[in-house]
Amino acid sequence: MYLGTLRFNNVNKVYLGRVHAVKDLSFTVDDREFLAILGPSGSGKSSTLRLIAGLERVTKGEIYINDRLVTDLSPQERNIAMSFENFGLYPNLCVYDNLAYPLRIRKMSPEKVDKRVREIAEVLGIIDQLNKLPAELSSGQKQRVSIGRALVRRPELTIMDEPLSHVDSGMRVHLRREIKRIHRELGNTTILVTHDQLEAMAMADRILVIHEGVLQQLGTPDELYYHPKNEFVAGFIGTPPMNFLECIIKSEDGHPVLFVNGSKIDVSSTDAKLLERYNKDRLKIGIRPSDILISVNPQPDYGIEANVYIMEPLGEKMIITVTVSSERLKIETDPDVRFDINQRVWLHFKKERIHFFDLDTTMRIN
Ligand SMILES: Nc1ncnc2c1ncn2[C@@H]1O[C@H](COP(=O)(O)OP(=O)(O)OP(=O)(O)O)[C@@H](O)[C@H]1O
């Protein structure tokens, strides 16, 4: 029913001859895939999406949709559907006519229009709403009509720019699931732009992380979370964010040992081999808040001394900020854990969960 692949080949976008918003971007989106483009504000996400849609001209490079070169084609010549966060419905047309509109302007026969509209309304669960005006719908229903209108003409690609950014948080979680379910049901290749890593993680098959116009990593949510390629991705994916600490590598009995502020960090045997191959005497380690264990007593393996700075009970979990010398670290624990402010505690970093980054390049050390 739907078929769509996308390929970017060294695509660049320069605005006004000086703002290099997208730099040598190359990636492929597979048929039926759900890709999220994720990055902070100003990273080039919307520019990338607008290049796909043909709303911006490519400065250099090529874009292919289903192996057809579309770099210089107008938006109308690319079979792409866009869904916007403000729904973009016609307020004076009923749901049926809103859904039928894109087909009627393509001069499709009334019988075929009727068949298509009812099919998509059935899939989206809005078959009972066809006679209503948009104002009579909940925002969830409006979103579904908006998606339905984008998909009714069976586009090669569906693209969405921050579709949920102005929806309240409860509805957002609901709509995330809806969009994901619709994608599963229809199999329409979908590209979603978001600055919200939770949204990207929850919805997408793969995530493309972009920063300052440069692709940082393209991978599954798990790949990004467990094997971030660089410090930027490591710090951007996960809440609270990963902790980073600068370490010194010393040699003990001919073996490399890591120290942070005088405390020794135990590493796994695999990582010990990695450090043996590494020829610098400093690096940065990354450790996620959920990968740090905390104890009130010094005990073997709990080698890092810290002071409790603040406790944040978040209902289902507790976030504890501690200081290790001048550094602050966040630790995620069970909600019933309690410490006093300034209490002395000892930390253990889960060995197999420590990430290593080069201080100069910020790249993961493998
Ligand atoms: N039409 C334009 N003219 C000049 N500069 C632009 C234009 N559009 C975007 N930019 C610049 O290009 C860079 C990338 O912008 P873009 O909108 O693609 O980022 P974004 O990741 O989508 O950001 P946001 O999440 O804030 O929308 C920014 O520096 C922005 O100021």
What pLDDT score was predicted for residue 365? Answer: 95
Give the residue, by CA position, lying nearest to ligand 1 atom 3. Answer: 15
Residue 164 has pLDDT above 90, yes or no: no
Give the residue, by CA position, lying nearest to ligand 1 atom 25. Answer: 41
Residue 309 has pLDDT above 90, yes or no: yes
What pLDDT score was predicted for residue 156? Answer: 85
Q: How confident is the model at residue 172 (pLDDT cuts 50, 70, 90)?
A: confident
Measured in Å, residue 37 CA sits from the centre of ligand 1 at: 14
* Atom of ligand 1 minimally distant from the CA of 47: 18
What pLDDT score was predicted for residue 1? Answer: 55
What pLDDT score was predicted for residue 171? Answer: 74
Residue 324 has pLDDT above 60, yes or no: yes
Are 285 and 247 within 8 A, CB to CB?
yes
Q: Which of 14, 37, 43 to mutate to test the pocket of ligand 1 (most atoms within 8 A of CB)?
A: 43
Residue 4 has pLDDT above 80, yes or no: yes
Measured in Å, residue 188 CA sits from the centre of ligand 1 at: 27
What pLDDT score was predicted for residue 256? Answer: 83
Integer CA distances (angstroms), 81 to 152, 182, 193, 334, in order? 9, 15, 14, 44
Q: Each residue of 275-292: pLDDT tens digit? A: 989 989 999 999 999 999
What pLDDT score was predicted for residue 85? Answer: 57
Asked whether 211 lines ligand 1 (CB < 6 A), one says no
CA 165/CA 337 separation, integer angstroms: 34
Asked whether 13 lines ligand 1 (CB < 6 A), one says no
**Average pLDDT over the chain, rounded to an integer:** 91
Per-residue pLDDT averaged across 173-201, rounded? Answer: 88
**Least confident piece of the model among 74-88, 110-124, 273-287, 341-355:** 74-88
What pLDDT score was predicted for residue 238? Answer: 94
Measured in Å, residue 69 CA sits from the centre of ligand 1 at: 25
Percent of the chain with pLDDT over 90: 66
Q: Each residue of 193-231: pLDDT tens digit? A: 999 999 999 999 999 999 999 999 999 999 999 999 999
Measured in Å, residue 30 CA sits from the centre of ligand 1 at: 26
Asked whether 69 lines ligand 1 (CB < 6 A), one says no
Q: How confident is the model at residue 141 (pLDDT cuts 50, 70, 90)?
A: confident
Asked whether 39 lines ligand 1 (CB < 6 A), one says yes
Asked whether 44 lines ligand 1 (CB < 6 A), one says yes
Residues β-bridged to residue 330: 321
> What is the pTM assigned to this prediction?
0.90
Q: How confident is the model at residue 125 (pLDDT cuts 50, 70, 90)?
A: confident
Q: Taking the CA atoms of the chain, what radius of gyration do you get in angstroms?
A: 25
Helices (H), the chain: 45-53, 95-104, 110-124, 139-151, 169-186, 197-203, 221-226, 231-236, 269-277
What pLDDT score was predicted for residue 49? Answer: 95
Name the burial class of residue 184, with classes exposed (0-12), middle (13-18) and buried (19+) by CB atoms within 10 angstroms of its CB: exposed
Are 223 and 200 within 8 A, CB to CB?
no
CA 216/CA 123 separation, integer angstroms: 36
Q: Each residue of 84-114: pLDDT tens digit? A: 655 678 999 999 999 999 899 989 999 999 9
Helix axis angle for 110-124 and 139-151, nearest 10°, is 140
